[in-house]
Structure 1
Amino acid sequence: MEHVSGIPSALFVHAHPDDESLWTGGTIAAHIARGGDADLITCTWAPGTVRHSELCDAARELGLPRPPIALGYADSFVPESAPDAPSIIDVPFDEEVGVLVDHIRRVRPDVIVTYDAFGIYGHRDHIHVNRLVCAAADAANLVHYRPETGDPWQVKSLYFATIPVSVVDEVSPHLPEASHLPLIGTPDEQVSVTLDLQAHIGAKIRAITSHRTEMARSASMKGFASLPRDQQRQFLAWESYLRRDLVPGGADLG
């Protein structure tokens, strides 16, 4: 439902801890700061793991009013992320859609934010989550779809996090080869929304660095951290999206 402020409510759906901060952290912080309501679903890493604890720390830095919702699947590359659960890409698709529909009907967001169809840089878990969100957003409003999960809910707009080609061109030459990120980017003219989040860059950086395990382990995170100041600021201070309205007029994010 719309927040009392009249600002559309938002649900951010990500595959892994740190994605919420790296790709949409400024948007989350800005949305909360202007009086909006938001929730975060993280699909992998079970409660009780170190990275889930770090996720909760990051969520607090971004100002989220409630703890992240953990679906508890395993990262497809890291089985120990959820030792007693299957990989996110091995669970039957319809089963996962049903789980997500249940949360959508309970949270009742106006806007859902996730990755673009390429998963920003081709990560198979990101691509899978994009597909789940698209299917679940449609199914959530069907009266006959899993009525036991609650009343139907119409999401107004989907926003898909992406990187404009112009940013890729500026940043990529400064990333070490070890970062392993195949950044390709979306042509600038196809990008629907670019948000100026310079006022919230501090919260975003604090959230990113809350993911201490990944900062220490990940070549790509180390690569982003090693960018020259100007390129790092360009990467962190703006976030871009493709927008898909599910009802006429949709709902604005930012």
Structure 2
Amino acid sequence: MSSVDRRLMLVHAHPDDESSGTGGTMAKYAAEGAAVTLVTCTLGEMGQVVVPELEHLRHDRDDALAPVRLQELTAAMDALGVTDFVRLGGDGTYADSGMATDERGLATASNELRPNAFWSADLLQAANDLVPLIRDRRPQVLITYDEFGHYGHPDHVQAHRVATYAAALAATASYRRDLGEPWQVDRVLWVAISEGQMREMIAGAQQEYRDRVAAAEAAGEPVPEESFFTRFDLDSGEVPPMSCPDADIAVQIDGYPYRKQRFAALRAHRTQIAADEFFFAYEDAPAGPMWNECYRLAGGTPLPPGATDLFAGLD
């Protein structure tokens, strides 16, 4: 299979999710001439705003964040070299559901939802919005989240459900012929972080927290609050939250050669990602495993051991 015959589709919940989790992967395959399609399920209307002069755009103030996030998404796609990016059902069909935080510090569904919140969407209706895209673009590989949405965000969970259902419906010849010719996705992958990667990230976060506590105590200032990263016991033997055993990783994409594109895309999402966000702590790091974007096999053709190409074994 030549690069020009390769077709990749990614289903993400909000603008910026694609750059933070799969930016290197998207830049790699776009640069190699593969067809890369991004489907974003909402416009991130409930997102935070980290730029002080733009805080008035928040949902609880002017509620005018959506068009700005679309502009940011467009700039990010330009940085990654991706030209085919669409919103599920069209702009504004499904709105950001927001989230609450559970006792572990992970995301969960909010009690207050917009009328068209993605979390409340009818699953079949949302899948029917994705089926024609799958049948038209005909991806061999489809990427989305796991059943927990990686960290519990309801829109991530819903994106997982919609992508999984739509892939099955798109392959069924007798289903909704009006939505296009059937197409069987060869391989479905879930975005993942390996346990080894997460342990290294947690160790770095805990050292940074200790340094901040020491600085605060020396200055007589309040000690910063802990996060689930800083509270996690690395000696417990437990698999850290938001990660999976290294053995479950089916394929890893080296993002190091595409780091400039990825960080440019992250910076494009300026209302969401602060300049001191943890992403940028690794910007000058040398090549190595921390740059890998990892994926679990969720269905379809297995990958050869040690795969470093999403399309390995599909030729």
1:247 is displaced (CA, Å) by 5.2
Residue number in structure 2 paired with 1:60 = 78
Whether the 8 Å CA contact 1:139–1:145 is kept in 2: the answer is yes
Residue number in structure 2 paired with 1:132 = 162
Quick check: which one's helix share is greater?
1
2:87 match: secondary structure:
strand
Residue identity matched to 2:269: H
- Counterpart of 2:30 (choices 17, 29, 32) is 32
Residue identity matched to 1:57: A
Change (3 A) 1:240 1:247: closer
Rounded to whole Å, the distance in 2 between the matches of 1:98 and 1:223 is 37
1:211-246, Cα deviation, whole Å (9 max, x unpaired):
0100149xxx823335695499854x2100012343
Residue identity matched to 2:294: S
Rounded to whole Å, the distance in 2 between the matches of 1:230 and 1:205 is 13
Alignment partner of 1:117 is 2:147 = yes
Matches within 5 A, 1:75-224: 75-77=96-98, 86-175=116-205, 183-216=241-274, 222-224=277-279
Residue identity matched to 2:82: L
Whether the 8 Å CA contact 1:171–1:231 is kept in 2: the answer is no
Rounded to whole Å, the distance in 2 between the matches of 1:253 and 1:157 is 9
1:116 match: secondary structure:
coil
2:151 match: secondary structure:
helix
Residue identity matched to 2:145: Y
Whether the 8 Å CA contact 2:119–2:158 is kept in 1: the answer is yes
**Higher mean displacement: 198-207 or 126-135:** 126-135
> Could you state the TM-score of these two structures normalised by the residue count of structure 2?
0.69
Max radius of gyration: which structure?
A: 2
1:101 is displaced (CA, Å) by 0.6
Residue number in structure 2 paired with 1:253 = 310
Rounded to whole Å, the distance in 2 between the matches of 1:6 and 1:38 is 10
Change (3 A) 1:98 1:223: same
Rounded to whole Å, the distance in 1 between the matches of 2:254 and 2:274 is 28
Which ranges in structure 1 are unaligned for 5 or more consecutive residues? none
Residue number in structure 1 paired with 2:57 = none
> Could you state the TM-score of these two structures normalised by the residue count of structure 1?
0.84
Rounded to whole Å, the distance in 2 between the matches of 1:13 and 1:180 is 27
Rounded to whole Å, the distance in 2 between the matches of 1:133 and 1:231 is 35
Identical residues among aligned pairs (%): 34
Whether the 8 Å CA contact 1:172–1:183 is kept in 2: the answer is no
Whether the 8 Å CA contact 2:254–2:293 is kept in 1: the answer is yes
- Counterpart of 1:19 (choices 17, 20, 24) is 17
Which ranges in structure 2 are unaligned for 5 or more consecutive residues? 46-64, 100-112, 210-224, 230-239
1:16 match: secondary structure:
coil
Whether the 8 Å CA contact 2:256–2:287 is kept in 1: the answer is no
2:277 match: secondary structure:
helix
Rounded to whole Å, the distance in 1 between the matches of 2:139 and 2:283 is 37
Rounded to whole Å, the distance in 2 between the matches of 1:153 and 1:199 is 32
Rounded to whole Å, the distance in 2 between the matches of 1:201 and 1:179 is 27
1:249 is displaced (CA, Å) by 7.5
1:152 is displaced (CA, Å) by 0.7
Change (3 A) 1:180 1:44: farther
Residue identity matched to 1:69: V
Whether the 8 Å CA contact 1:174–1:228 is kept in 2: the answer is no
Whether the 8 Å CA contact 2:97–2:114 is kept in 1: the answer is no
1:100-157, Cα deviation, whole Å (9 max, x unpaired):
1121112111111111222222222111111111111111011221111111111111
Rounded to whole Å, the distance in 2 between the matches of 1:59 and 1:226 is 22
Rounded to whole Å, the distance in 2 between the matches of 1:97 and 1:228 is 37
Rounded to whole Å, the distance in 2 between the matches of 1:13 and 1:206 is 21
Whether the 8 Å CA contact 2:170–2:183 is kept in 1: the answer is yes
- Counterpart of 2:68 (choices 42, 50, 74) is 50
2:150 match: secondary structure:
helix
**Higher mean displacement: 170-179 or 100-109:** 170-179
